[in-house]
Amino acid sequence: MGILRNAMNETFTSVSQEEAGFRERIRLSFDLDADICIIGAGLAGLSIALEAARLGASVAVLEGRHIGWNASGNQLGTVMPGFALPLTELIERIGFEDAIELWTLSKQGAEFVRANASEENMPDIGLTDGVLEVSNVDAGDRLISRLQMLNEDFDTEAEGWQVDRVRAALKTDRYFHGVHYPKAFQVEGRRYVHGLAALARRAGARIFEDTPVVSIDHSGIRKRIVTPSARLRAAHIVLAGNIHLGAPMRRLSETLLPVWRYAGITAPLGDRVHEIIGFKGSVMDSDGVDHFRIVDGDRLMWESPETTWAARPQRFAGSVKRRIRSIFPELGNVEISETFGGATGQTVHGMPQIGELRKGLWVASGFGRQGMNISAMSGQLIARSILSGDDRWKLFSPFELVWAGGTAGRVAGQLVGLWGRASSAAAGSLARYRERAQVKDREREARLAKANRAAGTGPRRQPSGVRPRVAPPAPRPAAPKEAEPVAEEQGVSQ
């Protein structure tokens, strides 16, 4: 079977409610040949399937459980440009020109999501614009340089918000400056991943759930994949299973540090939530601790706790509640009506794993903290690399596969995470203390000046129209008399 078949019409009808939700699962129960086999039906795997099917390839997706069962179906749905690695560190690592090209690809990934997440394609997807990144410390100078770089060098629309504007939108003293991304957006995350699967099916991709992979033989031109009930052959295999690839690719899974993120949704809060949180889009702090937005009119969706081991999301309802109260005490003791969570795979170097491991064996993984735009970008890159010879995936070559340390790595990762949160909290507390101290100093100086004026001891003003008296200049002291020169001795006594 050739890699390319007749290209399908790229005008797709909208996804129905039934298609976008949990439909009956189809298990692979017969032997199959395909151009591309994708292992994992999360955001990355489904993005690759959709793009490859649109380009005319025969695609089979194998999922051990069900579509979007992990982090892909349990996230806040924020879409914005960039990577988890800070921009300055990205430039230091790969150079200015390559950093610009990678950033451009990340923007294209965001536009891929926006194009798919239209109401025509995915009814009730709930797309809203605007993302605000706020700082826990007073970092005005760094904000200015960052904005200049984003706007001028990386062609990204971003505007700086001063402290007053941030606090007018968010009634809390926890945040200082902010960066507003007006073209960033958010969607209903679970609906998007199922809508993406429905679009991929419409384009011709075949998705098999409850079909774990037992073994992979990636030698030869036609790769062989074995499942409990069938075998599949493909010219290309894409590993998009994150930390859940299991025994067939355990060495690859061990290059990722598993991190579970948990979130909660409050019961309806009424109009008071809009009085306290006036920003309509997503809000995230610059330290990556808190991420929240208003959903369903008056409920607050909040993501904060994380661990390096699996736990029931219900255990973290209290942590989410306390976090909300610490940031927005005026909301009071909110009720958490729903909790959810999922595991992400984070790389040691902080960048995703995208590229060709060996001939015909591809990887799209390591999307922890990267955002929906990067998983979408990986779909475009890998599909176009396989089918059109696009080699821009090589921009990720400097970010090699690095062992994440196993169990010791998990423990270290948890300790580093706790230390990072503690240091962030300490820095924020110090910044707020300094701010309060400055306010008290100004108030004290104002009271002192007022008291001086009342007592008449402050500096007096000259009556209008009266020229001030100027004291005559003091007489200049007489110049000292010049000393007589001393004759130099012409000899030395013996």
DSSP 171-192: --SS---EEEEEEEEE--HHHH
pLDDT score recorded for residue 65: 93
What token pair was written down for 428? Answer: 């924020």
Smallest CA-to-CA distance from 293 within 278, 310, 271 is with 278
d(CA 324, CA 332): 9
> In the structure encoding, which two tokens stand for residue 31, read together?
């032997």
* CATH tag for 1-126+188-256+347-404 (out of 3.50.50.60, 3.30.56.10, 3.90.1150.10, 3.40.718.10): 3.50.50.60
Ordered by start, the domain boundaries in the chain are 1-126+188-256+347-404, 128-186+258-344
Nearest of 177, 135, 133, 137 to residue 430 by alpha carbon = 137
Pairing of strands 231-239, 32-39: parallel
d(CA 265, CA 278): 18
Q: For the whole model, what pTM was predicted?
A: 0.78
What pLDDT score was predicted for residue 374?
Answer: 95
- Residue 363 in 3-state DSSP? strand
Give the pLDDT of residue 258. Answer: 85
3-state secondary structure (DSSP) of residue 336: strand
Copy the structure tokens of residue 124. Answer: 């009730």
Closest by CA position to 116, among listed 170, 52, 51, 69: 51
Backbone angles phi, psi at 247, to 5 degrees: -55, -40
Evaluate whether 207 touches 200 at the Cβ level (below 8 Å): yes
Task: Give the contacts of 287 (CB within 8 A, at least 6 positions apart).
Answer: 136, 420, 421, 424
Phi then psi dihedrals of residue 136, to 5 deg = -80, -10
Residue 437: both structure tokens together: 């101290």
Residue ranges, the chain, pLDDT below 50 = 1-22, 402-428, 430-431, 460, 466, 470-471, 479-494
Sign of the torsion formed by the C-alpha atoms of 303, 116, 152 and 398:
positive
Query: By C-alpha distance, which of 135, 79, 138, 86 is closest to 110?
Result: 79
| Number of other residues whose CB lies within 10 A of the CB of residue 272 | 13
Note whether 1-126+188-256+347-404 and 128-186+258-344 share their fold: no
Among 238, 270, 210, 257, CA closest to 84:
257
Q: Provide φ and ψ at 61, rounded to 5°.
A: -110, 125
Which stretches does DSSP call E strand in 360-471? 361-365
HSE-CB of 245 using CA atoms within 13 angstroms: 27
Residues 6+ apart with CB under 8 A from 69: 63
How is residue 191 written in tokens?
């609906």
> How many CB atoms within 10 Å of residue 276?
18
Cα 294 to Cα 331: distance, rounded to the nearest angstrom? 13
Separation between Cα atoms, residue 355 and residue 48, nearest integer Å: 13
**Which pair of tokens denotes residue 66?**
């069900």
Q: Give the separation between CA 329 and CA 262, rounded to whole angstroms.
A: 21
Q: With contact defined as beta carbons under 8 Å apart, do 362 and 344 qualify?
A: no
pLDDT at position 472 is: 53
**128-186+258-344: CATH topology:** D-Amino Acid Oxidase; Chain A, domain 2 (3.30.9)
Q: List beta partners, residue 300.
A: 294
Residues making up the chain, counted from first to last: 494
